[in-house]
Homo-oligomer: A and B are copies of this chain.
């Protein structure tokens, strides 16, 4: 924790971009090593249905990141009014293609498509998002190992470890239980017995967060976690990326986390900002998952 002469104590702010850069360089080195050894590179394909601006933006961020590290990538674009059979056919072909190691179906899908049916058809061996039920099941069951862990959840643990934060024996509280972060990060913490206590909270979360050494948020509510919810010195990992209307910004909104940063930074010892915290790390973890898949496919250690 730092001390500012005017504003009092201030938490160390985790630089997600730096951590992401380190992960990317490690992935890039491994990919060069793989190319030299087996003459192959990892390949990620993203299935994008419809013309949502935000989805296009997310997909292009992923593609750009792939380019940076040497992962070949492509987008299969389908019209917003395509049939479910068409999507299933695309996914099924990608499942069978041995040159493809990671397949992502970009969410959300148009409402006429059965998201669950499409996810279930995906090959768990190419499920670099880690959302397939069988991968989530293996993550949940003690003694099993999933082929992939959801990127944002893996990033939370990674950020803690790379920031030198000891998890073992600590009170960790996870607020929210989406399949993207809350559920898998809780399962990771529980499975490894790294945390003394880890809970999903539905009501009165502040009663519990005040006891926590580490708070991980996954709620999608801007600034929900206030400074007075936190124990002084707590570690705060904020996975929220909430768009808040802001006429002063070019696109008419700014991104904010689940945590009221201005308050929390004065109470916490370490905190991830939004943007620039967990987001960049999560993209790098997707690259790392895709590399892992290619390594498995080519039995390259």
Contact = CB atoms under 8 A, between A and B. Distances in A.
Contact of A208 (B116, B178, B179, B197): B197
A203 interface: yes
Nearest to A141: B179
B142 A179 contact: yes
A183 to B, nearest CB: 6
B202 A199 contact: no
A262 interface: no
A135 B196 CA distance: 27
Nearest to A201: B197
Interface in A142-182: 142, 144, 169, 177-179
A190 interface: yes
Interface string A177-195: 1110001000100100101
Interface residues of A, number: 34
B142 A133 contact: no
Contacts of A179: 140-142
Interface string A125-141: 00000011111111111
A131 B116 CA distance: 20
A198 interface: yes
A110 B281 CA distance: 43
A182 to B, nearest CB: 9
A57 interface: no
17 contacts: A132-B134, A133-B141, A133-B144, A134-B137, A136-B137, A137-B140, A140-B140, A140-B179, A141-B179, A141-B183, A142-B177, A142-B179, A177-B190, A193-B202, A196-B203, A197-B201, A199-B199
Interface of A: 116, 120, 131-142, 144, 169, 177-179, 183, 187, 190, 193, 195-204, 208
Given A133-B135, A141-B179, A196-B201, 6 more contacts: A133-B133, A134-B137, A137-B137, A137-B140, A177-B190, A197-B199
